[in-house]
Amino acid sequence: EEWHNQWNEWKVEQFQQLQLDDINDELQKYNRQIGGMRKQLEKKGVWTALKADVDKFRKTVPLLTHLRNNAMRPRHWEQLMDEVDEKFDPWGNDFTLNKVDKLNLNKFPEFIENLSNSATQEQAIERSIAKVKTAWDTTTFKIEPYRKEYYKIISTDEITQLLEDQLATMSNMKVSRYV
């Protein structure tokens, strides 16, 4: 009964608010309890069904982790909606574990894992680009007059090194399939 009460709470909680680490801890606890109560529950004929429920949900946790990836942007959710041929709002109050189950997202584990991994890689590229921008935004060019009408940059060693570093970073990004 404790398991069913917990499951009933989780399945209606807004998806983005689920605490997956806590859920995973609870699942491990229930799995241990169920294992220890096997003989007692088998006599009542409920052990197999209870174990199957917990195991089914436990197998879903990696999928939920991928869906909760902070790198997932609206474009990734759109791709998922296209794949499952259903529209939904992943940040809406009605997007719950119940909704995940009704959408049969567990039938798309590879797609969701690949989508999540792509989102993570894309986020890494976005962060690298932001670092490049910040590096140039904070770089100060020292200039001095040169022949009455012109100016020249002095001390270019640091700028040259920064430019080389940024070119290497950009070259690495360019060959990534996630660009």
- pLDDT tens per residue across span 113-158: 999 999 999 999 999 999 999 999 999 889 999 988 999 998 888 8
Q: Is residue 15 pLDDT above 90, yes or no? A: yes
Output the CA–CA distances (angstroms, integers) from residue 20 to 15, 61, 97, in the order listed: 10, 8, 12
The neighbour count for residue 124, using CB atoms within 10 Å, is: 14
DSSP state of 68: T
Say what the pLDDT of residue 161 is: 93
Backbone angles phi, psi at 67, to 5 degrees: -70, -30
Distance CA 176, CA 62 (A): 25
> How far does CA 130 lie from the centroid of its chain?
19
> What is the rounded end-to-end Cα distance, in angstroms, of the chain?
49
Q: Is residue 43 pLDDT above 80, yes or no? A: no
Output the CA–CA distances (angstroms, integers) from residue 170 to 116, 121, 130, in the order listed: 23, 14, 12
4 — pLDDT class (breaks 50, 70, 90)? confident
Report, as an integer, the average pLDDT of 75-96: 96
| Helices 109-137 & 157-174 angle (0-180, nearest 10) | 160
Which residues are CB-neighbours of 153 under 8 A, at least 6 positions away? 141, 142, 143, 159
- Cα–Cα nearest to 34, from 3, 6, 9: 3
56 — pLDDT class (breaks 50, 70, 90)? confident
The neighbour count for residue 133, using CB atoms within 10 Å, is: 11
Window from 15-29, 42-56, 110-124 with minimum mean pLDDT: 42-56
Report, as an integer, the average pLDDT of 35-60: 78
177 — pLDDT class (breaks 50, 70, 90)? confident
Q: Highest-confidence range of 3-7, 84-88, 168-172, by mean pLDDT?
A: 84-88
- Cα–Cα nearest to 112, from 71, 56, 54: 71
Report, as an integer, the average pLDDT of 92-110: 94
Share of the chain above pLDDT 90, in %: 63
